[in-house]
Structure 1
Amino acid sequence: MIAGVGTGAMTEVEVLACLSSLRRHQRAGQRSPHKSLLVLYVLGQLVATGSSAVAWSAAVEKLADLIRDHGTPSVTPPGQRAAYPFTRLRSDGIWILDRDVPMDRVQPLTANRVVGRLDPRLEDALRDPEIAAAAARYLVEAEFPPTVAPDVLMAVGLDPDTILTTTDRFAAARPRRSSWTAAVLTAWNRQCAFCGFDGQLGAATVGVEAAHVRWFNFGGPDDPDNGLALCSLHHKLFDRGALGLSLGDDLRIAVSASFTSRTNTGQAVYDLHRRPLNPRPGTPSPAEAHVVWHTREVFKGPALTSGPVR
């Protein structure tokens, strides 16, 4: 029984309110997208097959990959990380397991061939394509920045072009500062703070974007010391955790040891490692608190052990 929802078919507003109440461990800005990733994965299964039922044996590898690629850095074994949302989502009243197994334990899930599925009323509501799109959009935008959201949707088998152009009535309560993007680009001379790319098309800047160090949807402010101008490639790599910043006497770029590339173009990313940021006079460097957050919650550490010093 879904708490706080009346009888009859669930409306879009009820579905979104239900998903917004998922219990997440987000103390002091910590990310915990595990439950949302499970719901998105199951939603992709529902859209593809008409059923939200997924066996643990079929879900564990995919869910572990999703958490590895889009969750926070962790040394916890992949199967264990997948077991957390698969068992704990029950406490939110929207997820049902066909066996009563302990929280967080892999062995009982495997031994009992456990199958999970969404609450039948929620599943029925999500068979409506518009409600399903609104639910997917809410979950992915609550957990990830715009550079990463399409990757997550594609990974669970949902169409980003459909999902991210859908409108819904569950608008974010926190407004964005409309002048922030232009201010960040201007502060960094409209060039990438990492590689210096400064593309222009006529009078317009192209391929250079304003990036939050601490993500906006996790309390990151639209302040100058939470912004970098980055080219589209390095913005994406920064938000995916392949690139980060290291604190010391000065701020330097860090490249994750998990990042690999086979081509000369891709290997140019390695050359960024330990390159210092050189903001123009008067431009604030990213604040230490925001860099610490990005390192803890996003960067896929450890960093490369060596690299060029400039």
Structure 2
Amino acid sequence: MGFGVFIHRSDSIYEDSPAEQYQFPRQYLGRVQACVGGWIVYLEPSKVPGTRGYFAVAKVGQVIPDPKAPAMYLALIEPGSYLSFPTPVPFSDPDGVIERGLLNAEGRLSGRAQAAVRPLSAADFNRILARGLEEPAPLLPRVDSAMPSAGLEEEPLPFLYEQERQRVLTSRLYRDRVFRRTVLQAYDERCAITGLKLINGRGRAEVEAAHIRPVGASGPDDVTNGLALSGTVHWMFDRGLLSLADDLTILLSRQINDVESVRALLNRDGRARSPRRPSDRPHPHFLQWHRENCFKC
């Protein structure tokens, strides 16, 4: 069980769904198997326009032969472990590469940087994780009733010990906070369905981070499984009174008792707003799940 880096392109030719599975050829089998039970970070290479760098963390549950593609394998991601970084980490900065293990004895970038799957040292993993989850200012989950938050502002970064790392990466309260930051940043703190951007006197956004496929139904903490929604719209979305087509057309349930008032709230073009970055756009896989399992057409 070790740490690793999985390279993933938003325009990948592989059957990847980073929050659920990673497809790879036989040549990487040993390296991926070494990561089973351990954590990996996803990296989008710099050749991709608008690259995110290191953009998420996940835990590898098991490796199986791909039943649909001979000589290919699938790394299955442990449910509930995937977490998008609110702050994607660049491959390098003015101090050099973030992944120090890629340097050779002369301090130059080695050929290992070209590998789609590669091992990662605990020190490099902790460095990437600390940068990806770094919070410039506290941003707690928006709740309508009192919720204990003691200790949330003091999560240990960088994660020096396995016990601390596991506690942070598996804490539901912490993951909700990170998911909120990620989704609100993707949508510029604006409701995707109404276009409203309401900020209170303390600079706090009214908009909430909604899971398209809920956590309780194995929905991942992936920005592509998220929408920024105002409170009332979030309530309607969770109850299946609203949904989205794959092209982000807003769908209204026939069970809405005041359709005209609801229509007056929606974006005038009848479509949800997309995130600023195409790679953060709601994934059709999650939108389909919501339509089939939640939407009351």
Kindly indicate which of the two structures has a greater share of residues assigned to strand. 2
- TM-score, length of structure 1 as denominator length: 0.38
Choose between structure 1 and 2 for higher RCO, CA contacts under 8 A separated by at least 6 residues.
Answer: 1
- TM-score, length of structure 2 as denominator length: 0.39
Kindly indicate which of the two structures has a greater share of residues assigned to helix. 1
Structure index of larger Rg: 1
